[in-house]
Amino acid sequence: MTEDVNLNGGQPLVEMSHLAVTFYTPRGTVRAIRDASLRIERGEVVGLVGESGCGKSTAALALMGYLPGTTKVEGSLLFEGQEINEMSPAELRKLWGKRIAMVYQDPATALNPTMRVGPQIDELLQHHLQLSKSEAQQKTIELFTSVKLADPDTIGNRYPHQMSGGQQQRAVIAMALACEPDLLIMDEPTTGLDVTTEATILDLVVDLKDRFKAGILYVSHNLGVIARVADRVVVMYAGQTIEEAPVRDLFKAPRHPYTAGLLSCVPAPVSTENSAVQLSSIPGSVFPASLPTEEACLFAPRCPMAQERCRTEVPAVFDAGGDHSARCFFWGDVRPGIWGTDELRQEGERGEVEPVLTATSLRKRYGHWERKYLFFGPWVRPPVRALTGVDFAVGSGRTLGIVGESGSGKTTAARVVVGLVPSDGGQLTLQDEEMPSAVQDRSRSQRAAVRMVFQNPKASLNPKLPIRHAILRALRKFAGLNRRESLERARELMEAVGLGPELLDRPPTELSGGQQQRVALAGAFAANPELVVLDEAVSALDVSVQAQVLNLLDRHQDETGTSHIFISHDLGVVRYVSDDILVLYAGHVAESGPAESVLNSPSHPYTEALLSAAPVPDPDAPPTHIRLPGAVPTMRERFQGCFFAGRCPRKLDGDICDTTPPPVRTGPRSSKHVIHCHIPLEELTALQRNGTST
C-alpha cells in the first residue's frame, strides 16, 4: 500500500468529525449514525467495514450531501475545507458526478429504466466535460471496455432490464469513473460480481487512486477486498467509528474485540492446509438504531471481554499508537483467541459414497434460430447454449461446490436440477430413479426431495404475509402435517436456524437480510429434502452472519445427511463448505473432482485464474497478476477447439487449442479429478508452481 499523500496544503480531502445522523420516520426515530469520525486524504483508499445496520451506507450518503430533509445532521463534514451540510442544492449538484461520484450497491437505483444505458453516460459526459455527442459516445465505449463489459460497442444500446446484475453494476462503475472524480464513494460495488471481474474492478480502483490522486471511500463487508485496496481502515459498529488504523496494522493486530471478531468470521485463504478451521461467529445482533445511546459500550452485550465498567461507562477513543485508535477500555488486552481457540472442522468421510443425484450430458439452450428478416432470409441468430454436455454427481451427505464467472452456466445448472428450467437433453437421476426435467412432471416425493435457496431471500418470501407462511406451506404440502403439527414443527425449524419462534408472525420487512435468509433455509429444510441447492445464498450477507449460516448448513448436514449443491463466486466460502467442486466455463465442464485436488496444482488454467483473482484477507499476501482478457463468450458461436482457448493465459503455440477439443486428463491425487486441457499435467504443474506462462 502507498503511504498517505496530502496534496491540499495539509488539509484532508474529506474530514468527518463526530458526525451524528438521525432519521425521523412515522415508525419512530432512527439513530443511523451516533458518533463517527474519519478522514480521507487525496490519493488514498479508506475502507469502511462493519455489519449491516452499523451506519456505513448512511455515512457514504452523508458525504454526498444526499440525505432527506427530515434528517437531523450534527457534527462537521468537510470536503476540501467546505462544510457539505451548509451547501445549497445548486452547489451540491455541481459536485455530484464531477467532483464527487458514488457507486451504489444496487445498480438499479442508479440507472434510469426508461433510457438506454449508453445515452445515460453520454449525457453525463456532455454535461460535465462539455464533450460533443460523438466524443461522448467514444468515451462511453472506452469506459465500457475498461470495466470489461462484453460487446462495448453495442451494449450501450440496451436498457437496464436487458442486462444482468453484474453488467448493470459495471455500467454504474463506468458512469462513476467517467469524469475522473476527486472523491469516489463505492458502497459494496463488487458484491454481485464474480471474482475475475471483481479483481479487474479492484485494479481499476487502485489505478484511479494512483493516476489521479483521487480519494476513495470503499464500503464493503468483504475483508479480502478491503485488504486488497485499502490504505487505512475504519470500523463502524452501531453508528460509531470504533477503530481506525493502517490496513496492515488492523489486520495483523486489531485493537477492538469487534474487529477481531469480524476477522475470525472470514474463511481462510483457499488452500487445503487452512481449510479445516471452524469459523467463529459473533453472537447476537447489532445494537438497534431505534434505541437511544446508552451510557455504556454498545458492543458490551456481544463482547467476550466485557466487564462491569463496559456496562456503566461510555468508552472514549483511545490512542493505540502508530496512527491506530480504538473505542475500547481494554484495547491493550485484545489478543488472538478471544473469540475461542481454533477448532478443526469435521470434513466428513472421504471414502466412496452413493450418489444422491447424478447428472449426465445436461444440455440447455435459450432461444431459437432466427431469420434475418423475421420470416425470410438466412438464419443469422442461433440460440444461446447455456449448458453443453455437463456431467456431475452429488454424493450422499456431501456438498458439491459449483464455481465459474457470470455466464458460465452455474445458475442454469441449479435451475435445471430443481426443474425450474427444463433441460433440452441429458438425464437427471435421483436415488437411481430418473427424474423428469420439468418440475410439474415430477412426483410429489421428487419435488420434496430437491429444494432451492435463492440469492435474494426477499424473492422467496411474500412481503404481505408473515414468515410462517413460507414454512407452514412447505410442511403441509410436502410433509403431510396438519395445522397443529405444522406450527409445532415450524417452531422447531426456527430454533434450528437460530431464530426465535416469536418471529413467525412477523412480516419479512421486519427482519434483517441474514434473518430472512435463515427463514428461507428453514423453508427449504421443512420438507426434509435429500438435496438442497443454494444459489449464492450467502453472497450478500455480512461476514458474521455468513459464518453463522455456513456453520448452520454444516451442522444440519451432519445431523440429517442432506446433500448440498453450493453455488458461489467466493472461493474461500466454496472451499470451506465443499467436498467436491465443479468448475464451469461457458456451459462446459473445465474441471471437477474432490475439493483438495481441484484447488491445488495441477488445475485447469481457468481454475488457476479464478484462484488468482480471489481476494485474500491479508494485506501482506503477494499480489497475483493473472487477469483474463474479455468476458465469457455469449455461447452463440460454436467452439471448434478448446472452449477456453480465446482467453487462456497458458494457450499452447500452434493451432491445437483453437481446432481440437481438449482431452480428458485425470489428476495424480484422485481418479475422480478430471481436467479438460491439452497441456500435460506434469507441464501444467510446473507452470503453475513457477508462476510462468507458456
* Strand 399-403 relative to strand 563-567, pairing: parallel
Q: What does the H/E/C string look like for 552-581?
A: HHHHHHHHHCCEEEEECCCHHHHHHHCCEE
Q: Is 630 found in the same domain as 564?
A: no
| Domain annotation covers residue 519 | yes
Q: Is 607 found in the same domain as 560?
A: no
Predicted local confidence at residue 451, as pLDDT: 92
Predicted local confidence at residue 117, as pLDDT: 95
Provide the whole-model pTM: 0.85
Q: Is 660 found in the same domain as 558?
A: no
How far CA 184 is from CA of 21, 372, 414, 584, in Å, comes to 21, 44, 37, 34
**What sign does the CA torsion over 504, 505, 507, 512 have?**
negative
- pLDDT tens digits, 533-554: 999 888 777 888 888 888 888 8
| Domain annotation covers residue 397 | yes
DSSP letter string, 451-482 = EEE-S-GGGTS-TTS-THHHHHHHIIIII---
Report the C-alpha gap between 95 and 102 in whole angstroms.
11
* Strand 450-453 relative to strand 531-535, pairing: parallel
Predicted local confidence at residue 481, as pLDDT: 84
Chunked in runs of 10, what are the mean pLDDT values of the chain (694 residues)?
45 93 88 95 93 89 88 93 91 88 81 94 91 94 84 91 77 87 88 78 79 87 90 96 96 96 83 63 86 94 95 95 94 90 58 86 82 67 83 95 90 93 93 92 92 82 89 86 89 84 86 80 89 87 83 88 92 89 94 91 91 86 77 73 92 93 91 94 88 57
* Strand 215-219 relative to strand 183-187, pairing: parallel
Which residue is it, cell 456505513? 56
Report the C-alpha gap between 147 and 168 in whole angstroms.
11
Q: Is 470 found in the same domain as 597?
A: no
Which residue is it, cell 461507562? 313
Q: Which residues pair with 434 in a beta bridge?
A: 429
Q: Closest Cα to residue 333, out of 294, 313, 298, 303?
A: 303
**What sign does the CA torsion over 464, 467, 468, 471 have?**
positive
| Domain annotation covers residue 145 | yes
Q: Is 373 found in the same domain as 397?
A: yes
Q: Which of 557, 581, 605 is the last residue of a domain?
A: 581
Q: Which of 219, 243, 267 is the last residue of a domain?
A: 243
* Angle CA 356–361–362, to nearest 5: 80
Q: Closest Cα to residue 394, out of 588, 529, 581?
A: 581
- pLDDT tens digits, 619-652: 888 777 788 877 787 666 678 899 999 999 999 9
CATH (domain of 378):
3.40.50.300
Q: Which of 221, 243, 265 is the last residue of a domain?
A: 243
Q: Is 577 found in the same domain as 603?
A: no
Q: Is 609 found in the same domain as 542?
A: no
Cell numbers linked to 296 = 455504556
Q: Is 658 found in the same domain as 573?
A: no
Q: Is 549 found in the same domain as 416?
A: yes
| Domain annotation covers residue 491 | yes
AA identity, residue 407: G
Number of domains, the chain:
3
Report the C-alpha gap between 642 and 663 in whole angstroms.
9
Cβ atoms of 238 and 32 closer than 8 Å: no
Q: Closest Cα to residue 555, out of 498, 471, 470?
A: 498
How far CA 672 is from CA of 30, 359, 396, 667, in Å, comes to 55, 15, 16, 8
Report the C-alpha gap between 569 and 267 in whole angstroms.
14
| Domain annotation covers residue 70 | no
Predicted local confidence at residue 126, as pLDDT: 92
Helices (H) and strands (E) counted in the chain, each on its own, are: 21, 26
Q: Is 128 found in the same domain as 198?
A: yes
Cell numbers linked to 73 = 445532521
Q: Is 205 found in the same domain as 93?
A: yes
Which residue is it, cell 459473533? 282
Q: Is 570 found in the same domain as 481?
A: yes
| Domain annotation covers residue 2 | no
| Domain annotation covers residue 80 | no
AA identity, residue 11: Q
Predicted local confidence at residue 5, as pLDDT: 42
The gap from C-alpha 551 to its chain's centroid, in whole angstroms, comes to: 18
> What's the domain range around 666?
590-690
| Domain annotation covers residue 120 | yes
